[in-house]
Amino acid sequence: MNTIEVDHLKRIYRAQIGVFKRSIKEVVAVEDISFEVKAGELFGLLGPNGAGKTTTVKMLTTLSIPSGGAARVAGFDVVKQANEVRKRIGFIFGGERGLYWRLTGDDNLRYFASLYGVDPSVSKKRIPYLMELVGLQGRGNERVGGYSRGMKQRLHVARTLLHDPEILFLDEPTIGLDPVGAREFRSVILNLQSQKKTILLTTHYMFEADALSDRIAIINKGVVIAMDTPSGLKQHVSDLSVVEVETFGASEAAIEKLRALPFVDALSIEDREQKQMLLVQTVRGAEAVPDVIAALEGQRVGRVIVREPTLEDAYVRLVGSQS
Amino acid sequence: MNYLNLFRYWRTVLVVAEMSIRMQFSDGFVLFAIVFQPMIIAILALFMLKDKGPDFAMFVVVGSGLTGLWSSLLFVSGNSINVERWIGTLESLVGAPTPFDVIVFGKNLANVFQSLLSMVTSYTLAAFLFGYSLSLTQPLLFFITLLLSLFAFICFGITIAPLFIMYRSVQQWQNAMEFPVYIMCGFLFPIALLPGWTTPLSYLLPPYWAALALHGTSTTMMPFDQIAFSWMMMILFSVMDLIIASQLFKIMLYKARVDATLEVD
C-alpha cells in the first residue's frame, strides 16, 4: 500500500523584480516529479543544491501549494485535505531553527503537543519518554537557547513524534551536526524505522542515504533522474572502478588533461584542506593507474587506490550525465 | 473564526497563552511596551493634570492602561507573527492541525492580560507617587466592561494579524498606527476635543467603545443605557472582527503557501 503518492508535481516560484518597471520572474523549482512510497518504507530523496528536494517536501507537508500535478499523503490530497494530512505527519527541516529558545525543552514539547491535540494526560507520559528516546533525559527543564545544535535537532525529532505520526518527513536532519551527533541521529532514525514509520528523508550525505534508505530517488533540476534501491542504483556503475588519486595543489590544466583521457567516464574532486582527492571513474580499473599517473606528470601525487564504486559514484555519474 | 473552535480548542488557547507569557516575560522590549511605556505616559499625564483632582487621575490610569493594551496588541501580536517567521516556527504552527486563528487568539489573550499590568502600574503610580486615593464610581459595571473590552481588543487584534503574515512591509506602518488610535479612541482625552469630522471614524474603532465605557464607569456615573450601548457595540465589533479574521486567515494563509512567504527569504 502506498502511503505517499506524488504524481507529476510541479512548483514555480514567482517574484516581482525591478522598482520602476516591475516584472515577474519565474523560477521552476520542481519541474515534474513522480514517485510513490510504501507504508513502513524509508525513502531517500537525493540531489544537488537547488534540485527541488526541500520544495517537494514542503508541498507534501502542506506548507507550499503545488503549481501543477497532485500528491496524496496517507490517502489525503495535500491541497484539498491539508488538515487531514497534518494530523498524520511529522516534519523536520534541518538546522537549529523552528524551536522556542526562550522556553525549556519540556515546554516546547508541551506547546506542540497541545497544537497537535495530544491529551495532557498522554503528553505528560509521552514527553519524558521522547526526551529519553532522543537522548535528552534530564535536560528537559533547561532553556533550549542553551542547547547545542545536536541537542536542538534531537529535540526536533521529539517534537515531531509527539502525536505519534504515521509518516515522517526529514529534510536534511543531520546537516551541520558533528560526526558523533550525526551518528546518534542516524540511530534515532533507525529506531523509528524499526517502529514501521514511513519516512521520507532528504540528505546530502550519500553514506547516510545508503545506510538508511530502502529506496532512493535522485532528483536534479526538478525531475527524477533515477529511482531504485541503493544496490540497484550502484548497478549503474557496476561496470566501473574508481581510481582515487591523492594530489597536492594539482593544476587545472592537469585535471583537464586527466578528464580528457578516453577511458575516464567521470571525474570528481574532493577538496580536503591542503590536498585534493581525484575520483576517476573508469571501466579499466587498476589498468588505468599508469595512464592516470602519466596524465598528472609534474604534479605532486600521494596515495593511489583502486576501489569498487559506491552510491556516491553512482550519484556522480547520474547527475554528471545530466549537466 | 468558527466560534465553536474557541470551545473545542480552549485547552490549546490556554497553553498558547501560557507559553506566550513565559516567552514575553523574558523579552526586554515586551516589558518596555507593556510596563514602562504606559508608566512614562501615566507620569507625564499625571503631572499635566495634577491640579485637576482624583477624577482626572483615574481617567489617566484607565487611559494609560488602554495605551498599553493597544501598543501590546499592535506591536507584540503583530510582531509575534514575524518573530515566528524569523525563528522558523511559523511553518510548524501553520503545519499543525490546530487552526491558525486559534493560535493567534491564544497569543492575543496573553498580550491583553499582560497589558492589564499597565493599568495596575498606573494605578500604583497614581495612588502612591502622587498621593491620590483612587476609587471606581461603578465598580461592578467597570469590571464587566473590562472583560468585554479585553475580548474586543483580542478580536480586533485578530483582524490585524493576517496582514502581518502576508505583507511583511506592514511592520513599517506599526508606529504610524499607534498614536492615531490613542487619539481617535479618546484614551487620554475625550474625542469631543477633536474636530467634528473625526467622530464617525472613532465610532468605527472598537477601542473607542471600550474607552468610552471604561472611562464612564470609572470616573463618572455613566447612565446604564449608554454603558449597555457601548457593550453592544463591543460585542457587535467582536463578532464582525472574528468573521472578517476567519476569511482573512483563509485567504492569506493560502496566499502565503502559494507565494512561499511562511519562511524567511
pLDDT digits (tens, 9 = 90+) for B90-142: 999 999 999 888 898 898 888 888 777 767 776 777 777 777 777 788 999 99
Per-residue pLDDT, A59: 95
CB contact at 8 A, A223 and A31? yes
CA distance linking residue A204 with residue A36, whole number of Å: 21
Query: In B, which residues are within 8 Å of A14 by CB distance?
Result: 259
Which of A106-115, A294-303, A308-317, B117-126 is the most confident on average? Answer: A106-115
The mean per-residue pLDDT over the stretch B21-48 comes to 77
Q: Which of A64, A98, A120 sits opposite B92 (nearest CB)?
A: A98
Query: Is A115–B22 a contact, with Cβ atoms under 8 angstroms apart?
Result: no
Task: Determine the distance in angstroms separating the CA of A303 from the nearest CA of chain B, rounded to an integer.
Answer: 44
Quote the minimal CA–CA distance from B195 to chain A in Å.
39
Phi, psi of A229 (to 5 degrees): -75, 160
CB contact B251 to A (< 8 Å): no
What band does B47 get if pLDDT is binned at 50, 70 and 90?
Answer: confident
DSSP B71-121: HIIIIIIHHHHHHHHHTT-HHHHHTSSS-HHHHHHHHHHHHHHHHHHHHHH
Which pLDDT score, from 0 to 100, does residue B69 have? 83
In this prediction, residue A275 carries a pLDDT of: 87
Residue of B nearest to A61 (CA): B95
Whether residue B8 has pLDDT greater than 60: yes
Per-residue confidence band for B26, with pLDDT thresholds at 50, 70 and 90: confident
Q: Could you give the CA distance from residue A251 to residue B72 in angstroms, rounded to a whole number?
A: 62
pLDDT at A140: 93
- Does A76 lie at the interface with B, CB-CB under 8 angstroms? no
Q: Which residue of B has its CA nearest to A14?
A: B259
pLDDT value for A131:
93
Nearest to B97 among A65, A87, A95 (CB): A87
* Among the ranges given (A73-77, A132-136, B16-20, B34-38), the one the predictor scored with the smallest mean pLDDT: B34-38
Mean per-residue pLDDT for B182-196? 86
Position A296 pLDDT exceeds 60? yes
Strands A215-220 vs A42-46: parallel, antiparallel or unpaired: parallel
Return the C-alpha cell found at A156.
Answer: 526536533
Q: Where are the alpha helices (DSSP H) in B167-205?
A: 174-184, 199-203
**Res A322: pLDDT:** 63
From the candidates B23, B83, B102, B257, which should be mutated to test the interface with A, based on the most A CB atoms within 10 A? B257
Top-ranked range on mean pLDDT: pick from B62-66, B128-132, B144-148, B252-256: B144-148
Query: What does the pLDDT average to over A121-140?
Result: 92
Chain A closest-CA separation from residue B74 CA (Å)? 21
Centre a 10 Å sphere on the Cβ of residue B249 and count the other Cβ atoms it contains. 21
Interface contact A63-B96, CB threshold 8 A: no
Nearest CA to CA, how far is A244 from chain B (Å)?
39
For chain A, say whether B174 makes contact (Cβ under 8 Å).
no
Q: Which three cell numbers stand for residue A47?
A: 540531489
Cβ(A180)–Cβ(A148) below 8 Å: no
Instruction: Say what percent of chain A tops pLDDT 90.
Output: 47
Whether the per-residue pLDDT at B265 is higher than 60: the answer is no
Test the B interface: residue of A76, A100, A101 with most B CBs within 10 Å: A100
pLDDT tens column, B217-232: 988 888 999 999 999 9
Pick the CATH number of A236-322 from 3.30.70.1710, 3.40.50.2300, 3.40.50.300, 3.30.1490.20: 3.30.70.1710
> Given this model, what pLDDT does residue B125 score?
72
Inter-chain touch B27–A95, beta carbons under 8 Å: no
Grade residue B236 by pLDDT with cuts at 50, 70 and 90: very high
Instruction: State whether B92 and A112 contact (CB < 8 Å).
Output: yes
CB contact under 8 A, A115 and B260: no
Average pLDDT across chain A, whole number:
89
Q: How confident is the model at residue A317 (pLDDT cuts 50, 70, 90)?
A: confident
**So what's the pLDDT on residue A265?**
85
A86 touches chain B (CB under 8 A): yes
Confidence of residue B41 (pLDDT cuts 50, 70, 90): confident
Residue to mutate among B12, B14, B18, B19, with most A CBs inside 10 A, is B19
Asked whether the predicted pLDDT for residue B264 surpasses 70, the reply is no
pLDDT of residue B48: 75
pLDDT at B1 over 70: no
> How does pLDDT run across A22-45, given as a tens digit for each residue?
778 888 999 999 999 999 999 999
- Quote the minimal CA–CA distance from B242 to chain A in Å: 20
CA dihedral A50, A56, A58, A64 (to 10 degrees): 100
Closest-CA residue of chain B to A160: B92
Which among A13, A102, A115 has CB closest to B96?
A115
Answer whether residue B168 shows pLDDT above 70: no
| B12 vs A contacts (CB less than 8 Å) | 114-115, 117
Mean of per-residue pLDDT scores for chain B = 83
Residue A323 has a pLDDT of 58
pLDDT at B181 over 80: yes
pLDDT in tens, A236-253: 888 888 899 999 988 888
Rounded Cα–Cα distance for residues A55 and A48 (Å): 13
> Is A141 within 8 Å of chain B by CB?
no
Predicted pLDDT of residue B259 = 83
Average pLDDT over residues B48-61: 75
Please give the class, per CATH, of domain A39-61+75-228.
alpha beta
Domain boundaries, chain A: 39-61+75-228, 236-322
Q: A117 — contact with chain B (CB < 8 Å)?
A: yes
Contact yes or no for B186/B208 (Cβ under 8 A)? yes
